[in-house]
Amino acid sequence: MKKIWLLSFLTCAFLWVNGQEAYRNNVTANPAYADWATMAIPNNGTDVYTGTISSTLFLPGNNVIAVEIHQSAINSSDLFFDMELIGVTAPPAPVLLRGPYLQVGTKDSITIRWRTDIACNSTVRWGTIFGVYPNSLTDAKDTIDHVLRIGTLSADTKYFYTIGTSTFTLQAGLDNNFLSLPPDNTTRKLRFLAIGDCGNSSTNQKNSRDAFINYIGSNNVDGMILLGDNAYNTGTDAEYQTNFFNIYKDNFLKYYKLYPAPGNHDYGNTSTNTGSRNMPYHKNFSVPMAGEIGGVPSGVQNYYSYNIGDVHFISLDSYGKDNANTTKMYDTLGAQATWLKADLAANNKRWTVAYFHHPPYTKTSHDSDAETDLQAIREKFIRILERNGVDLIVCGHSHGYERSYLLKNYFSASGLVNTLDNDFNATNHTATGNLQNAIYDASANSCAFIYNSGRYNHGSVYVVSGSAGQLPGTTLSGYPLGCMHYSNVANGGVFYFEVDSNRLDAKFISYVAAGNTTPVVRDQFTVFKDVNKTTNIVVNQFDPLQLTASWRGAYKWAVSGNPLTRIFNPSTAVIGTTTYTVTDDKNCLQDIFNVTVTTLLSVEMTSFAAALDGHQVALNWTIANQHNN
């Protein structure tokens, strides 16, 4: 409660509350009893002056308010005052209903969003030390949906932040933090989380969430991607609140940067909405559609691309329609496919990951041999991805987990149920030509997938991860698909992958059972690029030499003592050619170094000159060092 007073007087006035001065007007500080007012009040005392008195000056029970009026001159003809005191209740603090959640994170900026119960202004404060926030940004516009983009960040730096208004702080916990994106040339490991078909507020959704929290521990996640059907059943704002924001508000959303894709349920699960860009999905999320994080700008919310380190991500919309609601993602001359081709042509990152809702291969709650959209994606669309060297294609829609071999050119289908599945032949439809599964654990057929970088068809891994919330526990005829190494409809979970230079490791993170969220890795695979190299080196005798394995992992050098380090420094004392090999601990990788050590001249000549002097030639030279003295 605060007090507002209204005072009308002719010359000057003082106001005291319980003996403490609360206000003065038209008189100098610390006046004596006989001091005059500074000047005569204009308008013959009809002006009203207002002010605010802190409620702390008032005591319980009776209070004494004193007003003193001074004239401006000895010949002033009149003296009066009029006063009114009003008690006013301060506006209530807004209540946080949603968020905060993090969007469009870059190396130097990030968007922070939240929702309040009443319209108010928006303030974010941030800094690199918890509790110390030297930076702040306020948007004076009153709103319930708050969207603030803060900048001047340093790359790959952890920041703590608070959200609220210019008056109230609504959240300021230790877990209100984020890590800005690393530089493009970062050499550290990058971590990513993908959740599909999550938003149903089920026990499985919460168990999958908690299992991942237990798995990741204190490690940061550089990006969280949504695979669609983020809020069941029809993607209303109320369903988003209950089934998505409320489930993840105390964990993922506070500190993971979010990059969503829509599913059919985000369009209300009806084809009448496919042309709409005003669904709750579009209102709730900010995306980098202007190329803020790399990639070709899409200019639309439903598909976009971005870069994190040496990884290019493409978020696509497999349900909405473009071109005045006439073309879908798989229409190769439509707006989305046209943009995608341009984006892939401009991409120069080592790794490329595409994600969208509807999978080209599945036999869990949906059938890719029977459903028209899934067939069209497989037959017409994924050719674009494969020929441009996309490494990983992640989808949802089917409520289970399925992971393929390294598929290549497996597109054809006759439209009959199970025909494509029965057609699968590892020799013809995988890049490895066999059932190599890339589990990378030294078991049979488990070597990692290996190929060189570049925008060409080296094969792609397809993942269906639609059990972060939904989990039917049922299968369709033809399950499991022949092109899938691993399929699971019994256990829910999330898809997680790491990129460490030229190595990618991916895992299906599940949990033991309902009530036991100890994490369980039920599937895994590894991909290496630009390994198994043969390198020819010529080095001068006695010069230092450093050999470095082309991958990150485990090492064993085929020399005396079998060093286990990535770097090996061989002796160059003996003239001749020596071959050094290094392998991994699973006998899947091998680099070969052919080192030729050559002899040195006894001197190092730094200059030489020859000049004709009559019938003689004068030779002059200088040397820097002399060897083999």
At 38-51, the pLDDT tens digits run: 666 666 666 777 77
Q: How many angstroms separate the CA atoms of 175 and 187, rounded?
A: 26
Comparing 128 with 424, the larger pLDDT belongs to 128
b/e 608-624 (16+ beta carbons within 10 angstroms → b) = eeeeeeeeeeeeeeeee
| Of the candidate ranges 60-69, 197-206, 384-393, the one whose mean pLDDT is the lowest | 60-69
Residue 118: pLDDT above 80? Answer: yes
β-partners of residue 597 are 539, 576
Distance of alpha carbon 110 from alpha carbon 4, whole angstroms = 41
Q: Is the pLDDT of residue 589 over 70?
A: yes
Share of the chain above pLDDT 90, in %: 77
For 101, the token pair is 């959640």
Element (H, E) at 253: helix 252-255
Answer CATH for 94-181 from 1.10.1040.10, 1.10.260.30, 2.60.40.10, 3.90.1010.10 = 2.60.40.10
pLDDT digits (tens, 9 = 90+) for 474-531: 899 999 999 999 999 999 999 999 999 999 999 999 999 998 999 999 999 999 999 9
DSSP, res 322: B
pLDDT digits (tens, 9 = 90+) for 408-425: 999 975 555 556 777 899
Q: Which CATH architecture describes the domain 534-598?
A: Sandwich (2.60)
pLDDT of residue 1: 46
Query: Rounded CA gap, 291 and 104, in Å?
Result: 10
Query: How large is the average pLDDT for residues 187-199?
Result: 98
Q: For the chain, give every domain's residue range.
A: 2-88, 94-181, 190-529, 534-598
Instruction: Please state the rounded mean pLDDT for residues 117-123.
Output: 98
Q: Please determine, for residue 78, whether its predicted confidence score (pLDDT) is greater than 70.
A: no
Note the pTM of the prediction, 2 decimals. Answer: 0.85
pLDDT class for 31, splitting at 50, 70, 90?
low
Q: Look at 623 and 61; give whichever has higher pLDDT.
A: 61
Q: Per-residue pLDDT averaged across 156-184, rounded?
A: 98
- Residue 618 CB partners (closer than 8 Å, separation 6+): 610, 611, 612
Query: 3.30.1480.10, 3.30.1280.10, 3.60.21.10, 2.60.40.10: which CATH number matches 190-529?
Result: 3.60.21.10
Higher-confidence residue of 46 and 391: namely 391
Cis-peptide, bond into residue 260, ω within 30° of zero: no
Q: Does this chain's domain 190-529 share its CATH topology with 534-598?
A: no
Tell me the helix, strand and coil percentages in the chain, rounded to 5: 15, 40, 50
Cβ neighbours for 387, distance < 8 A, ≥ 6 positions apart = 456, 457
Nearest to 21 by CA among 62, 55, 63, 67: 67
Residues 6+ apart with CB under 8 A from 610: 617, 618, 619, 620
- Residue 430 gets which letter from DSSP? B
